[in-house]
């Protein structure tokens, strides 16, 4: 096994875990996606730039300028800047289940259309090789109702294996292991695949060691340059395990700084109010600690961490899972707003992919009467990401390839 992947007995738990009673009740998601914990009374986030009047979001400083480094050949927007492939999958998702054959056809069609390769193995090899440790960044916060579909992840793993990536070099990851398990990503379901979370325990586990220290802090990389924001995060003891640390600093998980050499980003198609939570947010908030306070500068904090090399230079591909999607209530899961969208998006340019996904979700919200006009302020995260060189947000510079399966 590659030395960067924790082995059995290393302190990282790969095994199945007993179901925790009421943990989803404990671990509530706000409609705006703020933290993924029940925030009332659990968080006091303050900008520290003023002792009196709070600063506006655009006035709150970050250290992003200090974190930018020279680009590499793999840096965002990747091998196909501005190119987005949109696949309408037909009835891959229905009220009765998921058609794995259609999902496979859609993934293979999208990969070939994006890369121009005729052989699906060659299409995957454009991005990864046998020497890579490939991390699949999922989004499991919606449980089985609205998370990545295991059937789709199966197809991606099959493609990686066909391209020569050994199973031991494939990592399924997110910030919280118990949410991956609740969404169906367990060692029993994926034998031989490493399943990791920065926060490996659930709400009913003891997060603290015998000295009262929060053990999950071992999984953040304090030696890697951190993202700092002039907002103080302060948490109650039952909330702190999900944030890992307090203060003005957000640390990157060792999953992105040490374990994975390449990352394939697999977000779920969903709204965040009158914006979206897709490629960029799945990466930034999924890879950092102490995120609750970052919602005060939502647009900056969605885009800026993706410009740090551990994400910018390792995320080589984005595949949006839009088999089921939500147009309201995201990024959590509310059944009345979820529909069988039967869409997938493919691209190396996360800004272009998010722009296409934004247009799709806002169009759906307008069609269903949830909103009448676009709130252009909610595009700001795309503009910031564009200025950071992460991709194209101007629709005139995006080449959209729309295909529909029979």
DSSP string covering 78-146, please?
TTSTTEEEEEE-SSSEETTEE-HHHHHHHHHHHHHHHH--SSHHHHHHTT--TT--EEEE---TBTTTB
User: Is the per-residue pLDDT at 98 higher than 90?
Assistant: yes
Q: Is residue 55 part of a domain?
A: no
Q: How many separate domains does the chain show? A: 1
What is residue 42's predicted lDDT score, i.e. its pLDDT? 46
Flag whether 127 is in a domain. yes
For 374, residues 6+ apart whose C-beta sits below 8 A from its C-beta are 274, 362
Question: For the CA atoms of the chain, what is the radius of gyration?
Answer: 20
What is the extent of the structural domain holding 332? 62-69+76-404
pLDDT tier at 204 (50, 70, 90 boundaries)? low
Helix (H) or strand (E) holding 303: helix 298-303
Q: Is residue 22 part of a domain?
A: no
| 43 pLDDT above the threshold of 80 | no
Residue 10 lies in a domain: no
Arithmetic mean of pLDDT, 28-47? 39
The two tokens of residue 270 are 């969903």
With bands split at pLDDT 50, 70 and 90, how would you rate the model's confidence at 35?
very low
DSSP secondary structure, 234-283, as one string? EE-TTTHHHH---EEEEPBBHIIIII-SEEEE--EEEEETTEE-SHHHHH
pLDDT band at 97 (very low <50, low <70, confident <90, very high): very high
Q: Which region among 37-46, 240-249, 372-381 has the lowest average model confidence (pLDDT)?
A: 37-46
Is there a domain that residue 38 lies in? no
**Neighbour tally for 271: CB within 10 Å:** 28
Taking the CA atoms of residue 163, residue 168, residue 172 and residue 175 in that order, the dihedral angle to the nearest 10 degrees is -140
User: Is 311 part of a structural domain of the chain?
Assistant: yes
The total of other beta-carbon atoms located within 10 Å of residue 193's CB is 18
Name the pLDDT band for 405 (thresholds 50, 70, 90).
very high
User: Would you call 174 helix, strand, or coil by DSSP?
Assistant: strand
Q: The pTM is what?
A: 0.89
Residue 218 contacts by C-beta under 8 Å, 6 or more apart in sequence?
11
- What pLDDT does 203 receive? 66
196 forms beta bridges with: 173
170 forms beta bridges with 134
- The mean predicted confidence, pLDDT, of the chain is 87
For the ranges 15-19, 105-109, 345-349, which has the lowest average pLDDT? 15-19
Domain assignment of residue 32, yes or no: no
Is residue 14 included in any domain, yes or no?
A: no
82 in Cβ contact with 355 (< 8 Å): no
Nearest 5 degrees, angle CA 22-CA 26-CA 29?
Answer: 120
């Amino acid at each position: 096994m590659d030395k960067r992947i924790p082995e059995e007995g290393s302190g990282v738990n790969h095994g199945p875990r007993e179901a925790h009673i009421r943990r989803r009740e404990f671990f509530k998601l706000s409609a705006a996606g703020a933290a993924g914990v029940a925030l009332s009374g659990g968080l006091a986030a303050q900008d520290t730039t003023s002792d009196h009047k709070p600063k506006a979001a655009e006035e709150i400083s970050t250290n992003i300028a200090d974190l930018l480094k020279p680009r590499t050949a793999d840096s965002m927007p990747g091998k196909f800047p501005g190119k987005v492939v949109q696949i309408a999958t037909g009835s891959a998702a229905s009220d009765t289940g998921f058609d794995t054959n259609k999902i496979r056809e859609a993934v293979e069609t999208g990969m070939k259309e994006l890369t121009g390769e005729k052989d699906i193995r060659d299409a995957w090899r454009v991005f990864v090789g046998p020497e890579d440790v490939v991390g699949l960044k999922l989004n499991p916060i919606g449980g089985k109702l609205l998370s990545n579909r295991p059937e789709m992840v199966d197809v991606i793993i099959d493609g990686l294996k066909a391209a020569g990536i050994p199973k031991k070099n494939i990592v399924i990851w997110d910030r919280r292991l118990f949410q991956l398990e609740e969404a169906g990503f367990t060692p029993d379901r994926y034998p031989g695949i490493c399943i990791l979370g920065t926060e490996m325990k659930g709400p009913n586990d003891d997060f603290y060691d015998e000295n009262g220290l929060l053990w999950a802090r071992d999984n953040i990389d304090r030696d890697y340059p951190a993202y700092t924001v002039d907002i103080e995060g302060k948490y109650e003891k039952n909330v702190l395990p999900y944030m890992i640390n307090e203060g003005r600093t957000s640390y990157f998980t060792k999953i992105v700084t040490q374990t994975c050499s390449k990352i394939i980003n697999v977000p779920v198609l969903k709204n965040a109010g009158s914006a979206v939570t897709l490629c960029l947010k799945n990466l930034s908030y999924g890879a950092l600690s102490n995120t609750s306070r970052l919602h005060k500068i939502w647009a900056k904090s969605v885009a800026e961490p993706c410009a740090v090399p551990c994400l910018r230079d390792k995320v080589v591909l984005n595949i949006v899972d839009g088999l089921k999607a939500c147009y309201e209530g995201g990024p959590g899961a509310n059944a009345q707003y979820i529909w069988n969208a039967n869409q997938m998006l493919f691209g190396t340019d996360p800004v272009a992919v998010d722009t296409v996904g934004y247009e799709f979700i806002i169009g759906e919200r307008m069609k269903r009467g949830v909103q009448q006009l676009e709130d252009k302020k909610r595009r700001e995260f795309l503009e910031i990401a564009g200025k950071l060189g992460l991709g194209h947000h101007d629709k005139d510079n995006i080449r959209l390839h729309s295909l529909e399966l029979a």
